[in-house]
Structure 1
Amino acid sequence: MQLLQELCEAPGISGREQKIIDIMARELSQTADSVTVDQMGNVIGFKKGRKDPAKKVMIAGHLDEIGFVVSYVDKNGYIRFAQRGGHTPKVLLSQRVKIFGKQEVIGVVEGAPAMLQEAEDRKKTPELKDLYIDTGMNKEELEKIVEIGDIIVLDREFVEQGQVCIAKAFDNRVGCYVVLETMKRLQQTDVDVYAVGTAQEEVGIRGAMSAARDVNPDFGIAIDVTAAFDTPDVKEHQQVTQLGKGVAIKINDQASISNHGIVEFLKALAKKHKILYQLEILPFGGTDAAGMQRFGKGPVCTLSVPTRYVHSPNEMLHKDDLEATIALLVKFIEECEQCQLAF
C-alpha cells in the first residue's frame, strides 16, 4: 500500500497534476516499453504486444483530485477560493487544507460561526461562496508566500485499518494505482497496451478525450471509484455497491453505457478465475469511459472500486475490492481477443 499512500498524499488537482504525473511516469518506466507525457498532461505508458498488427487496449485512471485554487486574499488575510471539481460544502466545514504557494501553508475552512446563528440558519447547508480559509496569518504575511491561483487540497493522511483504507483522493489515485499494479503483473500479451494516467477528469473528462483520440483503442477500460452507499438508513436498492463484495463491473452511469459484450465477458472472466464481483448502475456521474467512447472506436467499460464517502476528506475502500479490480483487469487484457462485442 506504500505506492497508493504516496499517490493519495501527493497534491494534484485538475490542471495541476505534475506531482502525480511524475509518480506515474516513474513507475511506468519500469514496466512499459515507452512512456510519454502529451500536451494535455496525460501520462501514456505503451507496452507492445506479440502480434503485429495488434488490437489496442487503453486502460485509464485519472490523475486529478478535486480541490481549489486561491482566488482572493482579503484585508485581514482570509482566503477565498475557487473550486476545481465537484464539492459538497457541508463536508468541508472545519476541515484542514494545505495551500501550495512558495511554501506549504495549513489553513482551516470555516464559515459563519454556528454559535451566533439562529436555530433555522444552523440547519441550512452552507454554500461554497460563503466559506473562507483561515491560516492565522495577516494579509502582508500571506502575500509573501501565497498568490492567486495557488492550489489547495484537503489535508488528510493515508490510514490502513484492518481490511479498509481511509484517505483523501482515492478518487482517483485508486485508478492510477490499479493501472500501475496491472502493468507490473502483465507478462507479454497479444495486444498493445496503453496504460494512461489522464488529466482533468474531474472538470469534464478532458484528458481521456485527447488521449483516446490519439490512441484510438479497440477496447477502452476506465478504472475509477464508485459510490458505496452501504450505510445506515440507505435502502438496499439505492446502495449502488457494497464494500467487500468485489470489483464493480459498470453497466452504465450518466455519461457512458458499457458495451454489453464487454460486460458479459468480464462477468465470465470473473467467474472463471474466481474473482469476486458485483454489478453497478450509477444514476449520476461519469468516468474516463465516456471520453474513450466518444473519441476512440466506441467499445468501453468501467471497472470500479466501491468507495464510501466519495468527494470527502475521508474516502474509504476495502482492500479485497482493490485486489479484485487489479486481478480482473489483468485477466481482461490477457484474454480480451476472445471478447465479442454485443449491443
Structure 2
Amino acid sequence: MSVNVSLLKKICEAAGVPGYESEVRNLIIQEVEPLVDSLEIDNMGNVITMKKGQSSEKKAMVGAHMDEIGFIVTHVDDKGFVRFTTLGGFDPKTLTAQRVVIHGKKDVLGVMGTKPIHVMTAEERTKMPKVKDFYIDLGMSKEQVDDIVSVGDPITRDRELVEMGECVNCKSIDNRVSVFILIETLRELQTVPYDVYGVFTVQEEVGIRGANVAAHTINPDFGFGLDTTIAYDLPGAQPHEKVTSLGEGTAIKIMDAMTICDYRMVDYMKKIADDNTIKWQPELLVAGGTDTAGIQRMGKNGSISGAVSIPTRHLHQVIEMAHKEDIENSIRLLKMCLEGLDTYDWSHK
C-alpha cells in the first residue's frame, strides 16, 4: 500500500470551513459514491455513506470531519480592509504573514496584516498578538472590495500540500488526512460482518456538531472516530508531553478531554494491530476532543467506541505534518477493525 498523494493533495487544498463545507463535500461525494451501497446528505450537510454487511443486526459508524479551521468576514472598513472572526481554534501568532482566500462572489486572495514592527512601541514589541490585531489586505479599493466581499463570507487559508522527506505538509491535514483515510478504507473494504456507515461530518471544529446529529440518526453499536492528534516530538518536549511521535505508527486513542474510549474497543484495536503487525502507539490527550465523543454518546443506545488517531505535528497551523507510514497504518488498522467486529467477545467483563 502507498499513499495516493495526488488525492490527498486535492482533499487538503479544498475549501471548507465550518458551515461552508460545500467544496470539499462535493469532492468527497465524487470520490466515495462508487465505493458504497448508499449515500445521502443530511440536513446538517454530513455525507452519510453505507456499505452493507453480512448482517444488519448491528451497525458500525466511522466519523471523519471534513471542515477545517478558518475565518468569516465581520466588517469591511472605509479603506477596504477586512475584519474577521475565527471559526475554530487559533494561536494568533500563527496568523502573521499568511495568505488567505475570501470566498465572496468570487474567490479573492488576501494577506493577513498587522501593525509593522517598525512603528510599534517597545511595550508592543513584547506582547503576543491577538486575533483582533489582524486585518486582511486585498490590495483593492473599498469600492472593489464591496463588489466582491460581504459580511458572512467564509475565509480559508492558502497553502498547498508538499512532500517533505517521508511526510506530507499542508494546511488542513487536520482533518483532511482522515477524510482521505476513510475514503481509502472504504475502497479497500471487502466483506464486513455488519453494516458500516462511513460519515464525513461537518462543523467538528466548532463543537462536533455534525457527528452529534449523524450518530443520533444512525444509532451505531460500534463507533470509530478518525482524527489527527498531537505529535509533540519536537525540540524542548519532555517525554511525558509528546502524546505521540511521527513515524511511530497509527495511534489508538485511550482518552481525550471529551471521551474515555471503551476499554473493550481499546483492547480489540490493540489486538487487531498486534495480530496483523500494524505499527501503533497509544494516545492519551489531556485536552481537546473529537467526533468520537458524539459517536459514543449521541445514539439512542450509545456505542462501543474508540478512535484511530493520526500523529500530526504543528496542529492548527498551515504547516501541519503527517508521516506517510502512519497514514498507511491507519488505513490498515481501521479496515481490519471493521472486518473483524464479529470475532471479539463484546460482553462486559
Indicate which of 313, 319, 325 corresponds to 2:324.
Answer: 319
Cα deviations by residue, 1:148-200 (Å, 9 ceiling, x for unpaired): 11111111001012210000001111111111000000012111000100010
1:236: which partner in 2? 239
**2:58 matched to 1:55?**
yes
Indicate which of 124, 139, 158 corresponds to 1:155.
Answer: 158
Indicate which of 26, 30, 40 corresponds to 2:30.
Answer: 26
* TM-score, with length taken from structure 2: 0.96
2:341: which partner in 1? 336
Residue identity matched to 1:77: G
Give the SS at the match of 1:224. strand
Aligned residues: 342
1:301: which partner in 2? 306
Deviation at 1:283, TM superposition (A): 1.0
Deviation at 1:123, TM superposition (A): 2.3
**2:46 matched to 1:46?**
no
Deviation at 1:245, TM superposition (A): 0.2
Following the alignment from structure 1 to structure 2, what is the Cα–Cα distance between the partners of residues 339 and 67?
A: 41
Are the aligned partners of 1:56 and 1:217 in contact in 2 as well (CA < 8 Å)?
yes
Are the aligned partners of 2:13 and 2:159 in contact in 1 as well (CA < 8 Å)?
yes
Following the alignment from structure 2 to structure 1, what is the Cα–Cα distance between the partners of residues 206 and 150?
A: 22
In structure 1, the gaps of 5 or more residues are none
Give the SS at the match of 2:60. strand
Larger mean CA deviation between 118-127 and 270-279 belongs to 118-127
Deviation at 1:20, TM superposition (A): 1.4
Are the aligned partners of 2:73 and 2:83 in contact in 1 as well (CA < 8 Å)?
yes
2:138: which partner in 1? 135
Are the aligned partners of 1:275 and 1:324 in contact in 2 as well (CA < 8 Å)?
yes
Following the alignment from structure 1 to structure 2, what is the Cα–Cα distance between the partners of residues 234 and 137?
A: 44
Are the aligned partners of 2:63 and 2:295 in contact in 1 as well (CA < 8 Å)?
no
Residue identity matched to 2:209: R
Q: Once superposed, what is the RMSD of the aligned Cα atoms?
A: 1.1
1:5: which partner in 2? 9
Q: Aligned ranges for residues 151-300 of structure 1 at < 5 Å?
A: 151-296=154-299, 297-300=302-305
Following the alignment from structure 2 to structure 1, what is the Cα–Cα distance between the partners of residues 122 and 181?
A: 46
Residue identity matched to 1:46: M
Following the alignment from structure 1 to structure 2, what is the Cα–Cα distance between the partners of residues 76 and 38?
A: 41
2:74: which partner in 1? 71
Larger mean CA deviation between 121-130 and 307-316 belongs to 121-130
Following the alignment from structure 1 to structure 2, what is the Cα–Cα distance between the partners of residues 340 and 238?
A: 34
Deviation at 1:119, TM superposition (A): 3.0
Following the alignment from structure 1 to structure 2, what is the Cα–Cα distance between the partners of residues 339 and 178?
A: 24
Give the SS at the match of 2:79. coil
Deviation at 1:339, TM superposition (A): 3.1
2:113: which partner in 1? 110
Following the alignment from structure 1 to structure 2, what is the Cα–Cα distance between the partners of residues 137 and 190?
A: 58
Residue identity matched to 1:44: I
Give the SS at the match of 2:93. helix
Larger mean CA deviation between 130-139 and 114-123 belongs to 114-123
Give the SS at the match of 1:55. strand
Following the alignment from structure 2 to structure 1, what is the Cα–Cα distance between the partners of residues 297 and 132?
A: 34
Cα deviations by residue, 1:226-250 (Å, 9 ceiling, x for unpaired): 0001000111110110000000101
Deviation at 1:146, TM superposition (A): 1.0
Give the SS at the match of 1:203. coil
Following the alignment from structure 2 to structure 1, what is the Cα–Cα distance between the partners of residues 49 and 214?
A: 12
Residue identity matched to 1:322: I
